[in-house]
Amino acid sequence: MNWYLLCRMLGMLGMLVGASMIFSMPWAFPVCGQTEAFEARGFWSMVAAFFCSLTIGGMLYTIGRKDEGTILRKEALAVVGLGWILAGLLGALPYLFGGVERMPGVPMSVIDALFESLSGFTTTGASVLTELEDPALVPRCVLFWRSFTHWLGGMGIIVLFVAVLGQLGAGGKAMMRREVPGPITEAVRPRVRETALTMWAIYVGISAVETVLLWAEGLSFYDALCHTFGTVATGGFSTFNKSAGHFQKPLIEGTIIAFMVIAGSNFSLYDMVLRNKGGRDSGIFGRFAPLFRDPEYRLYATILFIATCIVTISLLRHGVYPDVLQAARHAAFNVVSLMTTTGFGTEDFTQWPQLSKAILLSLMFIGGCAGSTGGGIKVVRYLLFFKILWLEIERAFRPNVVRPLRIGNTPIDDGVRRDVTVYFGLMLVLFTCSWLLLVGIEADHHWDLRTSPTSAEKLFDCATAVAATLNNIGPGMGIVGPAENYTFFSQPAKLLLTILMVLGRLELFAILVLLFPSFWRN
């Protein structure tokens, strides 16, 4: 391991995170009707966090400034894994310096702040804050930083790092492959920096369009920005206690639904659309042909449509809503929100019929497309996994037949096949072990004092909390449903759930390798 090179890279990343805090500082001033007076506590907490981040980043950079070595596989993995941990630690400083209270009279602890910070960067959207609308508890500029961490983490802080810095060669490509989610992460352009710039340009463009639309639909510019960050990053942090349900406007909900679907799709396909890969003379449908030719996107859209229909019928059958329009509206919003791992909510779906909850719980384990900002296992992995199962079943009765694994017309090599199988196995083991550990950490008598559930409900609630954090969704079922949050969990439990967020966002390997002593040896 090249320690000096690692320090230099982490130092630059730390300074980049610190510099991004500047965008939150103006919201401490009375602009756009968001505050009645200058929020000194919030402003100076952002300033202090800014200088601390620059100082820590500068010290790390100074240690390794003379090393101009090449970033190899080990260094790339270490930069990604340690970089996200460093970003989470630095991102927690505004909460600590600002004296943010997770509930009235209860200031955030270090673990609370780290939970909230990494929940933002990993686009999980799980929160320990109970009163978002009280500036005395959560200053507006800190609340903006909370949403802005979503936006930074959505496309990826390492991708932004590569786009800004460049000149990393194969090392930059290796870092992006570890951060961009999905088993197939082919670059959309030959040069890695050009790929990073292209992805961020598309990301910024989509964000700008949604911000303008939400602003035009009646949201303040502040709220439009924060909800855009939560949507295009598929994160789900809101500025209101009731999340998107605060607005109660079908037009706003429809806009958020559309952009959640967009954010949950593969951004490489958008690059192909913009470059008109469907053919210049084939009209509007030909321009969007790359989307509909992609097997993963077709399956993604099909799952969303079928799940919405089933949940709508279930809600109507049980009389939850009086007409099909209301049922379809709330079903579509929550189906899309959970499958894309955004986590916005309009209704408390934990009160819905059992079939509806079962569908939503299943969608938590699917996620968005590879190359999207969505979390979860990814649609393409399920597509590959079931193709692998079919080939293995056929091999049982036709052992001499050799069929290549394909997605569409593209053959998939054995390495991807192995990675998909291993990933499913690791996720199952990690989910089970984390669930058992969380049940053990949370004592039964503490649980009874908080919520008075049965032991069976505790098992279910802990399972959904693990699923919601590991898949970067945020809200789960039961005690961590859309009307609740994670503030009641003990400090060790929050630390466990924080680790799960990072593992899920980086798809396990970039964090797990840090635990092996042999990884750090030269």
> What pLDDT does residue 350 have?
86
Q: Using the predicted structure, report yes or no on whether residue 194 has a pLDDT greater than 70.
A: yes
* pLDDT tens, position by position, 16-25: 999 999 999 9
Instruction: Tell me, yes or no, whether 343 lies in a domain.
Output: no
The amino acid that residue 344 corresponds to is F
Nearest alpha-carbon partner for 298 in 450, 445, 407, 416: 407
Q: Which of 193-207, 212-226, 257-271, 292-306 has the lowest mean pLDDT?
A: 193-207
Nearest alpha-carbon partner for 126 in 498, 503, 459: 498
One DSSP character per residue, 395-433 reads HHH-TT-----EETTEE--HHHHHHHHHHHHHHHHHHHH
Give the residue with greater pLDDT, 282 vs 41. 41
* pLDDT tens, position by position, 198-225: 888 899 999 999 999 999 999 999 999 9
* pLDDT tens, position by position, 140-191: 999 999 999 999 988 876 676 666 555 555 555 666 565 565 565 444 444 6
Q: Using the predicted structure, report yes or no on whether residue 344 has a pLDDT greater than 50.
A: yes
Instruction: Tell me, yes or no, whether 204 lies in a domain.
Output: no
> What pLDDT does residue 53 have?
95
Provide the 3-class DSSP secondary structure of residue 102. strand
> What pLDDT does residue 169 have?
54
Instruction: Tell me, yes or no, whether 158 lies in a domain.
Output: yes
CA angle 346, 347, 352 (to 5 degrees): 145
Question: Distance between CA 485 and CA 476 in Å, rounded?
Answer: 9
173: containing domain: 3-179
Question: Distance between CA 498 and CA 112 in Å, rounded?
Answer: 9
* pLDDT tens, position by position, 64-74: 877 666 777 78
Instruction: Tell me, yes or no, whether 408 lies in a domain.
Output: no
Report how many domains make up the chain.
Answer: 1
* pLDDT tens, position by position, 476-502: 888 888 888 898 899 999 999 999 999
Give the DSSP H or E segment for 106: strand 106-107
Instruction: Tell me, yes or no, whether 327 lies in a domain.
Output: no
Q: 25: which residues sit within 8 A by CB, 6+ positions away?
A: 43, 46, 47, 50, 141
Give 453's pLDDT tier (boundaries 50, 70, 90): very low
Q: 432: which residues sit within 8 A by CB, 6+ positions away?
A: none
Instruction: Tell me, yes or no, whether 46 lies in a domain.
Output: yes
Give 454's pLDDT tier (boundaries 50, 70, 90): very low
> What pLDDT does residue 293 have?
87
> What pLDDT does residue 240 have?
92
Nearest alpha-carbon partner for 469 in 427, 426, 422, 440: 427
Instruction: Tell me, yes or no, whether 296 lies in a domain.
Output: no
Residue with tokens 């069976």: 456
> What pLDDT does residue 411 have?
82
CB 91 within 8 A of CB 17: yes
Average pLDDT of 268-272?
87
Give 450's pLDDT tier (boundaries 50, 70, 90): low
Query: Full-prediction pTM beyond 0.75?
Result: yes
Q: Using the predicted structure, report yes or no on whether residue 446 has a pLDDT greater than 70.
A: no
Average pLDDT of 403-428?
85
Average pLDDT of 309-332?
94
The amino acid that residue 192 corresponds to is V
Q: Using the predicted structure, report yes or no on whether residue 241 has a pLDDT greater than 70.
A: yes
Instruction: Tell me, yes or no, whether 220 lies in a domain.
Output: no
